[in-house]
A and B are shown apart, each in its own frame.
Chain A
Amino acid sequence: MHLFIQACILGLLAGGVYALMASGLTLAFGVMRVINVAQGAMIVLGAFLSYTLFTKAHIDPFVSVVLLTPLMFLVGVALQLVFIRPLRADEREELSLLVTWALALGIEGLLSVLYKTNYRSTITSYADKSWRVLGYHLSEVRVFAFGMSVVILTLLYLLLTRTEFGRTVRATVQNPVSARLLGVNVDKVSALGFGISVATATAAGAVFGMVTPFFPGSHYDLISRLLSIIVLGGLGSLGGAIIAALFMGMAEAVFAAEISPTWSSFTFFIVLIAILLLRPQGLFGTNERGAL
């Protein structure tokens, strides 16, 4: 029982970070119907950027998040304008897969040249510290990472629900034609939406590098997990993605603790296949687009 609860705690903390990673993916899908398979590579890029700032300039990853996210937001906007906007609306879903896959390989290639292909880790002074609460271990890094994810997701939620920009994003997700008819600048919403998506990937990447060793090819594994999460959460639903991420994080940790650590990364796919057989619209998906 103790082991089980410890695994659940660990899984929940990891799930929070997965939720942040998946939020951008599901947002981009909702707004543009673009499956950004480069999201994993963006996360790895974020990990390398904060790793570099940490090793070269001694900037703590949680601080570099504040510096890197606005920068990567702009990069995201630029990527959308250059690679995704030119795609014709009626073939965007399919072509965006190819384009973002090419982007992922490009980022991986660039990182391989710059950093070689060995594993790295961003190891801060508090990397090995943990708190003991009621006999359970709470790793400081993981708690901070979880906390940061909660903060960013809350900001994202507030942005989507409390601002005019957020309302135009949701409107675009729920009915793009209708949004245009009301004068929403759908092109602008899409570009900014993609920027936000890349910014969340960067933030997630910075903390990912602190809890998991990474190398340029880490994005394959990441994107497979994230796709499982957003399918499970019901494509395009932010709330669904968050719940699915927490669920997957815990399922993986419990599987690792109770059954076999070697096979734990398969948990995602086992759960995914099981769910898709039972509930094809995803666990939390509705048939309506754009539920938060």
Chain B
Amino acid sequence: MSTLKLDGVVAGYGQGDILRGVSLEVEAGSVMCVIGPNGAGKSTILRAVSGLLRPRAGSIAVDGQPIASLKPREVLSRGIVHVPQERSLFPQMTVWENVLLGAHVLGDRARARRRIEEVAERFPILRERRNAHAGSLSGGEQKTVELARALMLDPKLIMLDEPSMGLDPKARQRVFTTIRGLNETGLTVLLVEQNARAGLEIADEGAVMDGGVVKLRARGRELLDDPRVGALYLGAPITPREAAPEPTR
């Protein structure tokens, strides 16, 4: 169990800041779903947490321990795993090799082999397509293998960046069911979703990102019914809950 806490995180690529003071808390054992328009900085949050990007200001902590200056492999060893938005399998390696690499930081091949058998119980496709090149799998199959690989280290917190992107309705449903199932086994989930309805439905809490800050935070279902969320998706600016009432035009 672990609680992830971001406080005033500022980060970016090259010059400008993309995250401009992001504060967010993901409670142990919960599912947090972050939504928001393209370019809002959702993926950038995950990159900052996993150590791909070093924040310029603010703090990131897990169970009170700061992790903002750690390298990706150190973040991994704290039980935090990041499944990026882009395809992340190694296309010319087999499915089995890909998943085994999920346990690379263990430095213990024998343990990795035992673990992959456990993971394969849950994801039969690992055995069915064991020797297939990962690049030859369909998008949905690849997503499943990515999820399986992320579980190799038996993480405490999993960060999923738009896991349903490009999937057909059935595969999408399967992904959400899997996420829910993982959460029921005690895994904390930080989910970024463009598919706001489906994401918020399985989430305990939701957050809306816009322009590099968290604009709204509420319980998942409440956010679903919030008219301001609708406004956001129509492209209109939203005002935070605690700010002054919306000005009339």
Give A residues with C-beta under 8 Å from B.
Answer: 164, 167-168, 170-171, 174-175, 177-185, 288-292
Contacts and interface: CB of A to CB of B under 8 A. Distances in A.
Interface stretch (B15-23, B54-62, B86-94, B231-239): B86-94
Contacts of B12: none
A290 B91 contact: yes
B92 A178 contact: no
Nearest to B83: A181
B52 A182 contact: no
Contacts of A171: 90, 93, 101
B91 A182 contact: no
Contact of B109 (A164, A175, A181, A183): A164
Interface string B76-96: 110001101011111111000
Interface hub of B82, B90, B102, B107 (most chain A Cβ within 10 A): B90
Nearest to A187: B71
B135 A181 contact: no
A288 B137 CA distance: 14
Contacts of A178: 84, 88-90
Given A183-B73, A185-B73, A291 B92 contact: yes
B84 A182 contact: no
Given A174-B93, A288-B92, A290-B91, A181 B52 contact: yes
Given A177-B52, A181-B52, A183-B76, A164 B88 contact: no
Contacts of A291: 92
20 contacts: A167-B93, A167-B101, A170-B92, A171-B90, A171-B101, A174-B93, A175-B90, A177-B84, A178-B90, A181-B50, A182-B76, A182-B102, A183-B72, A183-B73, A183-B104, A184-B104, A185-B73, A288-B91, A288-B92, A290-B90
Contacts of B135: 288
A171 B89 CA distance: 9
Contacts of A289: 92
Given A181-B82, A182-B76, A183-B72, A170 B90 contact: yes
A180 B89 contact: no
A292 B92 contact: yes
B162 to A, nearest CB: 15
Contacts of A175: 87-91
B182 to A, nearest CB: 18
B92 A182 contact: no
Contacts of B77: 183
Contacts of B50: 181
Contacts of B109: 164
A181 B77 CA distance: 11
A157 to B, nearest CB: 14
Nearest to A292: B92
B218 interface: no
Contacts of A177: 52, 84, 86, 88
A120 to B, nearest CB: 41
A123 to B, nearest CB: 43
B11 to A, nearest CB: 16
B21 to A, nearest CB: 25
Contacts of B101: 167-168, 171, 182, 184
Contacts of B102: 182
Given A170-B92, A183-B104, 5 more contacts: A167-B93, A177-B52, A183-B72, A288-B135, A289-B92
B72 A180 contact: yes
Nearest to B106: A183
A182 B92 CA distance: 17
A184 B106 CA distance: 11
Contacts of B107: 164
Interface string B43-73: 0000000101000000000000000000011
Interface in B95-133: 97, 100-102, 104-105, 107, 109
A290 B82 contact: no
A268 to B, nearest CB: 28
Interface in B189-247: none
A232 B87 CA distance: 28
B104 A168 contact: yes
Contacts of B92: 170, 174, 288-292
Contacts of A185: 73
Interface hub of A164, A167, A178, A182 (most chain B Cβ within 10 A): A182
A182 B100 CA distance: 10
Contacts of A168: 101, 104
Nearest to A172: B90
A109 to B, nearest CB: 37
Nearest to A184: B104
Contacts of A174: 90-93
A289 B134 CA distance: 13
A167 B97 contact: yes
A90 B2 CA distance: 35
A164 B93 CA distance: 13
B93 A170 contact: yes
